[in-house]
Amino acid sequence: MKQGIFITFEGPDGSGKTTHAKLLAQWLEKQGFSVVLTREPGGTPFAESIRKLLLKPGENVFPATELLLYAASRAQHTQELIKPALAKGKFVLSDRYSDSTVAYQHFGRSLDINIINELNKIATGGLKPDLTVVIDIKTNRGMDRVSRNRAKDRLENENSLFHGRIRKGFLALSRKEPGRIKVITSGGSIQGTQEKILKITREFLKRKKLS
Ligand code: TMP
């Protein structure tokens, strides 16, 4: 059986990527593909336990601890869920993956990029997304959206300077790998943003000779 396709959604908090990952999963299923929709941190029972530790508000978590826990969650998720699904020829859509560690723990927390790249290599076993959609949003808008929707988690509670660095980080990553990482500006309606994502996906499927 042919190897599946791995698509990731990335972006600052409040960008709407969770909604759009779900919408794309539904659209791909309608096209007849078998889809696994998952997320990071988390995605398997053990990795979801790590997610709870990471996001609990009020904890004093050191940057190195945080980095290692995100990597641990990714290692489990990749081995237990993502790789087996890809081996069965499925489409795997993940709401965040290794680019988030570069954006948050390097650009956000200023941890050494070489260490992050090495840890990402260990955690992913060298797996890279085939396509990454970054949903970009202005920092204040993203933060307003998060506050409106629900109680903030530990990372969302960080200040706007931190979130501004994350946004810059995703944009820098997209300039480094323009073939894989496509940036979409979140602004108008959900439908408008979804149309932009479908356009990118259709082009991608054509390139892969899947449509
Ligand atoms: P989510 O709310 O988008 O599911 O993501 C949880 C939070 O974890 C979000 O604030 C981004 C952060 N995060 C990191 O800091 N590093 C990572 O490697 C990942 C995957 C997420």
Compute, in angstroms, the gap from residue 35 CA to the centroid of ligand 1. 22
Structurally, the chain folds into a number of domains equal to 1
CATH of the domain at 50: 3.40.50.300
* pLDDT value, residue 11: 98
Look up the domain containing 103 and give its range. 5-207
- Tens of pLDDT, residue by residue over 115-172, are 999 999 999 999 999 999 999 999 999 999 999 878 999 999 999 999 999 999 999 9
For ligand 1, say whether the CB of 70 is within 6 Å of any of its atoms. Answer: yes
- Tens of pLDDT, residue by residue over 158-197, are 999 999 999 999 999 999 999 999 999 987 899 999 999 9
- Buried/exposed code over 165-203 (b: 16+ C-beta within 10 A; e: otherwise): bbbebbeebbeeeeebbbbbebeeeeeebbebbeebbee
* pLDDT value, residue 1: 57
For ligand 1, say whether the CB of 10 is within 6 Å of any of its atoms. Answer: no
- Tens of pLDDT, residue by residue over 64-94, are 999 999 999 999 999 999 999 999 999 999 9
